Amino acid sequence: MAKKRPVVVVTRKLPDAIETRMMELFDTRLNRDDRPLSQSELIEAAKTADVMVPTVTDRIDKTVLAQTGDRLRLIASFGTGVDHIDLATARQRGITVTNTPGVLTEDTADMTMALILAVPRRLAEGERLIRSGSWTGWGPTSMLGHRIWGKRLGIIGMGRIGSAVAKRARGFGLSVHYHNRRRVHEDLEAELEATYWESLDQMLAHMDIISTNCPHTPATYHLLSARRLKLLQPHCYIVNTSRGEVIDENALTRMLVAGEIAGAGLDVFEHEPAVNPKLIELDNVVLLPHMGSATIEGRVDMGEKVIINIKTFVDGHTPPDRVLETMF
Ligand code: 8YV
């Protein structure tokens, strides 16, 4: 007798090739119009599923998990960050959680580098000038930004993405500094020519550009707090492609408005999709709609990982990208 196929609920529209393969392998319920599910719709979906495939836009919190019943066994998240899932409650309820690490590293590092270049060199401002029709031509002192080459970049979080940013940064003549929970292996440190700062506070006070590349966890919530942001030098730029919650967005906005730091490149926000309206008014800020890993290739690779995680799990094995609370 053929084995019953697991019910897999996918909360958002995924690339066609991934959805087709999922339909072939599992009893898959798709979200064709891609409208984010409300909390009650999420609960309803979770009650009927053996496997859920959520994304960063779904809050799989205690309330949702408390009402899932006994059916849900796997949350195969489409993405690397798992801060939208209550891992402790999932564990207590015997639900396995997986993510998609590795396949979005290079794309996210590219976007980080793009912001590191865009803000000091006033890329978005220049583009806006042309589109507004008010460009009157080249001038020796017009649109002057700041040089990247020779500056100090402080990376917060030297994991996969942080290291990929460091490699790119070396090519642009930046000297690489980093703060991490643990010092990385000396071989990697040597390869990246990176300087380790055990004290985040001290590193912040000495950098020209800061890039946040750590996950959002209880320990990194507002890691860049109002107090720490004040340690930055006024010519410093901040780039964030990790999670909005890592920076106190209100404090950052206040400092940008007051000219206490030079500028910011933000791909993520504390209350997405809401963006502090004061940020939108500023010229020295480049704002992107959480698109760090948004490449077609990356999304397909993420989908492949989701499929492999589900398939391995339903075949009775430990999925390759199982997430444990102890990892964070
Ligand atoms: C993803 C991300 O696009 O994977 C992550 O952690 O932040 C994004 O790049 C998103 O999470 C998909 O759910």
What does the pLDDT look like over 50-97, one tens digit per residue? 999 999 999 999 999 999 888 999 999 999 999 999 999 999 999 999
Query: What CATH number was assigned to the domain covering residues 7-103+295-314?
Result: 3.40.50.720
Evaluate whether 78 touches 303 at the Cβ level (below 8 Å): yes
Ligand 1 pocket test, pick from 83, 293, 327 with the greatest ligand atom count within 8 Å of Cβ, gives 293
Can you tell me the mean pLDDT for 240-261?
Answer: 98
Name the amino acid, one letter, at 267: D
> What does the alpha-carbon distance between residue 293 and residue 56 come to, in Å, rounded to a whole number?
12
Evaluate whether 179 touches 201 at the Cβ level (below 8 Å): no
Atom 10 of ligand 1 has which residue's CA nearest to it? 79
| CATH 2.30.42.10, domain 105-287, yes or no | no
For tokens 């690397």, the residue is: 80
Can you tell me the mean pLDDT for 16-27?
Answer: 98
Atom 11 of ligand 1 has which residue's CA nearest to it? 79
Atom of ligand 1 nearest to the CA of 55: 13
> What does the alpha-carbon distance between residue 44 and residue 232 come to, in Å, rounded to a whole number?
47
Residue 49's pLDDT band, with cuts at 50, 70 and 90, is: very high
Question: What φ, ψ does residue 300 adopt, rounded to 5°?
Answer: -65, -45
214 close to ligand 1 (CB < 6 Angstrom): no
Domain positions in the chain: 7-103+295-314, 105-287
Would you call 21 helix, strand, or coil by DSSP?
helix
What is residue 3's predicted lDDT score, i.e. its pLDDT? 75
Q: Sort strands 7-10 and 27-29 into parallel, antiparallel or unpaired.
A: parallel
Residue 11's pLDDT band, with cuts at 50, 70 and 90, is: very high
Is residue 290 annotated as a catalytic residue, yes or no? Answer: yes
Question: Is pLDDT of 8 > 60?
Answer: yes
What percent of the chain is predicted at pLDDT more than 90?
96
48 close to ligand 1 (CB < 6 Angstrom): no
Ligand 1 pocket test, pick from 104, 160, 302 with the greatest ligand atom count within 8 Å of Cβ, gives 104
> What does the alpha-carbon distance between residue 149 and residue 129 come to, in Å, rounded to a whole number?
25
Q: Quick one: the chain helix, strand, coil %, rounded to 5?
A: 35, 15, 45
79 close to ligand 1 (CB < 6 Angstrom): yes
Ligand 1 pocket test, pick from 80, 216, 246, 327 with the greatest ligand atom count within 8 Å of Cβ, gives 80
What is the tens place of the pLDDT at every residue in 181-229? 999 999 999 999 999 999 999 999 999 999 999 999 999 999 999 999 9
Atom of ligand 1 nearest to the CA of 57: 13
Can you tell me the mean pLDDT for 288-311?
Answer: 98
> What does the alpha-carbon distance between residue 65 and residue 306 come to, in Å, rounded to a whole number?
20
Question: Is pLDDT of 321 > 80?
Answer: yes
263 close to ligand 1 (CB < 6 Angstrom): no
Per the prediction, the chain carries an average pLDDT of 97
Catalytic residue among 106, 243, 249, 299: 243
Burial label for 208, CB within 10 Å (0-12, 13-18, 19+), is buried
* CA diameter of the chain: 78
Instruction: Tell me whether the CATH fold assigned to 7-103+295-314 matches the one assigned to 105-287.
Output: yes
Q: pTM of the predicted model, to two decimals?
A: 0.96
Can you tell me the mean pLDDT for 7-33?
Answer: 97
Q: CB within 8 A of 174, min separation 6: which ones?
A: 116, 148, 149, 150, 151, 152, 153, 209
What is residue 194's predicted lDDT score, i.e. its pLDDT? 98
Centre a 10 Å sphere on the Cβ of residue 307 and count the other Cβ atoms it contains: 19
Is residue 243 annotated as a catalytic residue, yes or no? Answer: yes
What is residue 327's predicted lDDT score, i.e. its pLDDT? 75
How many angstroms is it from 141 CA to the middle of ligand 1? 40
Chain-centroid distance, C-alpha 285: 18
What is residue 2's predicted lDDT score, i.e. its pLDDT? 63
Question: Is pLDDT of 1 > 80?
Answer: no
